[in-house]
Structure 1
Amino acid sequence: MSVSQALGEYAAALSYADIPGPVLDHARLLVLDTLMCGALGAVASPEVELLTRTLTRGEPGGGPATGWMTGAALSPPSAALVNATAVHAFELDDVAIGQHYGASVLPPALAVAPLAGPLDGRDLLTALVAGCEVAARVQRAAGRAPHAEVGFHGPSLIATFAAAVAAGRALRLDATGLAHAIGHAAQQASGIMATQHGGMGKRLLPGVAARNGTFAALLAAEGFTSGADMLERPYGGYFPVVSGGASTWDAARALDVPAGHWATVETRFKFWACRFPIHPALEGLRDLRARYGLDASSVDRVEVELDPAAYKAVGFPWQPTSTASAQQNLRICVASYILDGDVFLDQFTPAALARPELLDLAGRVEPVEAAGGELFKRESPVRVHLRDGRELTALGRVRGGADDPGTPALVAAKAGRLAAAIGRGDDFVEALGWRQLDELAGAESLLHTMRPTERGTR
Structure 2
Amino acid sequence: MDVTSQLGTFAAGLTYADLPPDVRERCRMSFLDAIGIMLGAADFAKRDGDRCLETYLEGMAPPGKATVLGYGIRTTPLMAAFANGTLMEALDCQDSNMKALMHSGSSVIPTALVLAETNPITWADLVPAIIAGYEVHTRLMLAVQPGHWYKGFQGTGTFGTCAAATTAGRLLGFDARQMTAALGISGFIMPVSNGDNQFKGYNVKPVHGGQAAMCGLSSAYMAQAGYRAGPLEGEPPRHHAALHILSDGPNLERTLAGLNETWHTRDVAYKPYPIGHFIVGVIELILDILAERRIKPDEVASVEVTTYKDAVTSTGKKYTTTQSNHVDAHLSIPYCVAVTLADGQMTSRQLLKDRLRDPKLHELASRVIVSEDPTMTKAYPNEWPARIVIRLHGDGSIERQIDKVKWSPHRTPTWAELSEKFHLMADPIIGPDRATRAIENVAKLKEGSTLASLIMTLTKK
Question: What TM-score, normalized by structure 2, do the two folds share?
Answer: 0.89
Query: Are 1:122 and 1:437, in contact at CA under 8 Å, matched by a contact in 2?
Result: no
Deviations 1:165-222 (A, max 9, x none): 1111111111111111111122233211222423321121211111111111111111
Does residue 391 in structure 1 map to residue 394 in structure 2?
A: no
Amino acid across the alignment from 1:6: Q
Aligned pairs for 1:370-449 within 5 A: 370-371=373-374, 373=378, 378-396=384-402, 397-401=404-408, 403-404=410-411, 406-422=413-429, 424-431=431-438, 433-439=441-447, 441-449=449-457
Amino acid across the alignment from 1:390: G
Deviations 1:28-75 (A, max 9, x none): 111111111111223442698433432442344x33423223342322
3-state DSSP of counterpart to 2:458: coil
Query: Are 1:197 and 1:322, in contact at CA under 8 Å, matched by a contact in 2?
Result: no
What is residue 140 of structure 1 aligned with on the other side?
142
Partners of 2:413 and 2:310 lie apart in 1 by 29
> How far 1:229 moved relative to its partner?
4.8
3-state DSSP of counterpart to 2:386: strand
Partners of 2:143 and 2:77 lie apart in 1 by 29
Partners of 2:158 and 2:111 lie apart in 1 by 16
Aligned pairs for 1:150-169 within 5 A: 150-169=151-170
What is residue 357 of structure 2 aligned with on the other side?
354
Deviations 1:260-314 (A, max 9, x none): 4212222222111111111111122223334454443332111112323222211
What is residue 267 of structure 1 aligned with on the other side?
268
What is residue 456 of structure 1 aligned with on the other side?
none
Partners of 1:374 and 1:183 lie apart in 2 by 35
> How far 1:365 moved relative to its partner?
0.3
Q: Using a 3 Å threshold, how does the CA distance of structure 1 residues 445 and 126 change in structure 2: closer, same or farther? A: farther
3-state DSSP of counterpart to 1:63: strand
Comparing 294-303 with 159-168, greater Cα deviation is found at 294-303
Comparing 46-55 with 320-329, greater Cα deviation is found at 46-55
Query: Are 2:271 and 2:407, in contact at CA under 8 Å, matched by a contact in 1?
Result: yes
Does residue 225 in structure 1 map to residue 228 in structure 2?
A: yes
Comparing 208-217 with 292-301, greater Cα deviation is found at 292-301
Comparing 2-11 with 98-107, greater Cα deviation is found at 98-107
3-state DSSP of counterpart to 1:66: strand
Question: For 2:342, which of 328, 332, 339 is the aligned residue?
Answer: 339
Aligned pairs for 1:287-298 within 5 A: 287-298=288-299
> How far 1:378 moved relative to its partner?
2.0
Give the share of equivalent positions with the same residue, in percent: 27
Aligned pairs for 1:293-304 within 5 A: 293-304=294-305
Question: What TM-score, normalized by structure 1, do the two folds share?
Answer: 0.90
Report how many residues are paired: 447
Partners of 1:423 and 1:63 lie apart in 2 by 22
Q: Using a 3 Å threshold, how does the CA distance of structure 1 residues 285 and 70 change in structure 2: closer, same or farther? A: closer
Deviations 1:347-404 (A, max 9, x none): 1122211223212210000111344536565221222222232332222342124543
Amino acid across the alignment from 2:391: H
Q: Using a 3 Å threshold, how does the CA distance of structure 1 residues 58 and 179 change in structure 2: closer, same or farther? A: same
Amino acid across the alignment from 1:2: D
Q: Using a 3 Å threshold, how does the CA distance of structure 1 residues 3 and 327 change in structure 2: closer, same or farther? A: same
What is residue 7 of structure 1 aligned with on the other side?
7
What is residue 27 of structure 1 aligned with on the other side?
27
Does residue 78 in structure 1 map to residue 79 in structure 2?
A: yes
Q: Using a 3 Å threshold, how does the CA distance of structure 1 residues 427 and 57 change in structure 2: closer, same or farther? A: closer
Query: Are 2:187 and 2:232, in contact at CA under 8 Å, matched by a contact in 1?
Result: no
3-state DSSP of counterpart to 1:450: helix
Amino acid across the alignment from 2:246: V
* Aligned-residue CA RMSD (Å): 2.4
What is residue 239 of structure 1 aligned with on the other side?
243
Query: Are 2:161 and 2:186, in contact at CA under 8 Å, matched by a contact in 1?
Result: yes
Amino acid across the alignment from 2:17: A
Amino acid across the alignment from 2:53: L
Q: Using a 3 Å threshold, how does the CA distance of structure 1 residues 403 and 366 change in structure 2: closer, same or farther? A: closer
Partners of 1:229 and 1:156 lie apart in 2 by 15
What is residue 255 of structure 1 aligned with on the other side?
256
3-state DSSP of counterpart to 2:23: helix
Q: Using a 3 Å threshold, how does the CA distance of structure 1 residues 49 and 220 change in structure 2: closer, same or farther? A: farther
Partners of 2:362 and 2:122 lie apart in 1 by 50
What is residue 97 of structure 2 aligned with on the other side?
96
3-state DSSP of counterpart to 2:387: strand
Question: For 2:124, which of 122, 141, 145 is the aligned residue?
Answer: 122
Q: Using a 3 Å threshold, how does the CA distance of structure 1 residues 59 and 413 change in structure 2: closer, same or farther? A: closer
What is residue 45 of structure 2 aligned with on the other side?
45
Q: Using a 3 Å threshold, how does the CA distance of structure 1 residues 451 and 440 change in structure 2: closer, same or farther? A: farther
Query: Are 1:232 and 1:240, in contact at CA under 8 Å, matched by a contact in 2?
Result: no
Partners of 2:176 and 2:108 lie apart in 1 by 18
What is residue 186 of structure 2 aligned with on the other side?
185
Amino acid across the alignment from 2:356: L
Q: Using a 3 Å threshold, how does the CA distance of structure 1 residues 113 and 218 change in structure 2: closer, same or farther? A: farther
> How far 1:96 moved relative to its partner?
1.8
Amino acid across the alignment from 2:444: Q
Amino acid across the alignment from 1:351: D
Comparing 91-100 with 399-408, greater Cα deviation is found at 399-408
Query: Are 1:56 and 1:74, in contact at CA under 8 Å, matched by a contact in 2?
Result: no
Query: Are 2:108 and 2:130, in contact at CA under 8 Å, matched by a contact in 1?
Result: yes
